[in-house]
């Protein structure tokens, strides 16, 4: 005869207590973790600082002004861009001559020093050629009321003012490469050797016109007209 074990009475289930936060958030019950309350930004506090108050803000460094090139107001006239080609072609011809001489000397004495010296000269020429475009673009002249102002140079700038009344000779020179590219250089001779300047890379028509203009102005200044 089987004996029946009476079932134990079940304990009544406790009702879940539904707790709501004062701002109407999700109910919190057993096994439910409470979410952290959001950080409210106070008056005058930027929104970007509401979530990360521990991150400091560094002030930007003030800009440092660097001195620039000396500039003189006026209508500056630059030389022709073809002067860059003339300079580079001249450097290339000189490099070929140096390499040829180094090879000939090396074959005669059978010593590597001529090749080393020639290689150093070629390297220096290549480095110098990289600055030729900027150096040519820095050359210019300005016709003012009483003188002609000439400038050149990148790192070391040079400004020379030649008064019209002190000009004794205005000469035009043209080498083989300058003739091939239709350019010329204008040379000014004054009483002071330090004031003599040469403007390279001028188109032939501009050089001739500038020469005639300067001669006319110089004659009028010397005669007091």
Q: Does 64 fall in a domain?
A: no
Q: Is residue 87 part of a domain?
A: yes
How is residue 162 written in tokens? 């030649």
**3-state per-residue secondary structure call for 94-147:** HHHHHHHHHHHHHHHHCCCHHHHHHHHHHHHHHHHHCCHHHHHHCCEEEECCCE
| Residue that finishes a domain, picked among 135, 150, 182 | 135
**Residue count (the chain):** 225
161 lies in some domain: yes
The answer to whether residue 6 is domain-embedded is: no
- Which pLDDT score, from 0 to 100, does residue 39 have? 44
Pair (129, 183) in one structural domain: no
> How far, in Å, CA of 175 to CA of 197, rounded?
17
Of the chain, the end-to-end C-alpha distance in Å amounts to 153
pLDDT (average), residues 9-19: 46
Same domain as 144, residue 112? no
pLDDT tens-digit profile of 153-195?
888 888 888 888 888 888 999 999 999 999 999 998 887 766 6
Q: Which domain holds residue 156?
A: 139-223
Q: Is residue 158 part of a domain?
A: yes
* Predicted local confidence at residue 87, as pLDDT: 94
Q: What's the predicted TM-score (pTM) here?
A: 0.62
Say whether both 125 and 181 belong to one domain: no
For helices 82-109 and 113-129, the axis angle rounded to 10 degrees is 170
Measured in degrees and rounded to the nearest 5, phi and psi for residue 58 equal -90, 135
Same domain, 107 and 121: yes
Percentage of the chain lying above the pLDDT 90 cut:
43
CATH of the domain at 182: 2.30.29
């Amino acid at each position: 005869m089987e004996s029946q074990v009476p079932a134990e009475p079940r304990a009544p289930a406790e009702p879940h207590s539904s707790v709501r936060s004062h701002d109407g958030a999700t109910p919190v019950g057993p096994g439910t973790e409470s979410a952290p309350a959001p950080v409210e930004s106070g008056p005058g506090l930027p929104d970007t600082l509401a979530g990360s108050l521990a991150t400091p803000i560094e002030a930007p460094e003030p800009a440092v002004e660097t001195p620039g090139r000396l500039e003189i107001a006026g209508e500056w006239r630059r030389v022709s861009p073809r002067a860059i080609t003339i300079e580079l072609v001249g450097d290339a011809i000189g490099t070929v001559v140096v390499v040829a001489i180094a090879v000939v000397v090396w074959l005669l004495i059978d010593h590597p020093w001529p090749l080393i010296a020639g290689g150093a000269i070629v390297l220096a020429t290549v480095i110098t050629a990289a600055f030729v475009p900027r150096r040519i673009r820095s050359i210019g002249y300005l016709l003012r009321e009483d003188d002609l102002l000439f400038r050149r140079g990148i790192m070391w700038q040079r400004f020379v003012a030649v008064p019209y009344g002190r000009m004794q000779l205005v000469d035009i020179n043209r080498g083989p490469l300058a003739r091939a590219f239709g350019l010329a250089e204008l040379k000014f001779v004054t009483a002071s050797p330090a004031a003599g300047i040469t403007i390279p890379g001028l188109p032939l028509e501009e050089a001739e016109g500038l020469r005639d203009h300067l001669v006319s102005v110089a004659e009028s200044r010397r005669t007091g007209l």
